[in-house]
């Protein structure tokens, strides 16, 4: 009977040891899974940061492109103003030249009129 009790105690002890060993293995596996999950989370966070950085870089490039486009439009407006100013100056110069020519023609007519007698006066003697 003592032997049976001893054998029962040994079996219970073996089962307890096996159960504890099983629990240790399960805890180890859970710890490993947690570490793997933590690593996956870190990788996912890093991918999110990279995606955010890429998106920010794309936004920055778009802003710079818009600024360049705006600067290009501004330069084009300024160029067009210069062209318009040159055209206006050219037109003003042409008008001045026309006025000078008209004055010269009028002055020449006055001189000619002074030199030649008017048809009412008759031939000069």
pLDDT at 1: 62
8 Å CB contact between 15 and 7: no
pLDDT at 120: 62
3-37 pLDDT, tens digit per residue, is: 778 888 888 888 999 999 999 999 999 899 999 99
* Nearby residues of 52 by Cβ (< 8 Å), 6 or more positions away: none
34-82 pLDDT, tens digit per residue, is: 999 999 999 999 999 999 999 999 999 999 998 888 888 999 999 999 9
pTM of the model: 0.45
Largest CA distance in the chain: 181
pLDDT at 123: 54
List the Cα angle 108/113/117 in 5-degree steps.
Answer: 155
Query: Could you report how far apart the first and last alpha carbons of the chain are, in Å?
Result: 181
Instruction: Report which of residues 9 and 104 the model is more confident about.
Output: 104
- The model's confidence at residue 116, banded by pLDDT at 50, 70 and 90, is confident
pLDDT at 5: 83
Residue 24: CB atoms within 10 A of its CB come to 10
8 Å CB contact between 101 and 109: no
């Amino acid at each position: 009977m003592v032997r049976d009790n001893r054998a029962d105690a040994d079996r219970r002890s073996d089962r307890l040891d096996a159960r504890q060993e099983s629990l240790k293995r399960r805890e180890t596996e859970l710890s490993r899974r947690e570490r793997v999950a933590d690593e996956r989370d870190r990788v996912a966070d890093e991918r999110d940061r990279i995606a955010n950085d890429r998106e920010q870089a794309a936004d920055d490039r778009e802003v710079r492109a818009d600024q360049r486009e705006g600067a290009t439009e501004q330069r084009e407006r300024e160029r067009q103003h210069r062209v318009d100013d040159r055209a206006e100056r050219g037109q003003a110069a042409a008008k001045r030249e026309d006025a000078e020519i008209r004055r010269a023609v009028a002055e020449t007519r006055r001189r000619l009129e002074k030199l030649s007698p008017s048809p009412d006066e008759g031939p000069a003697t």
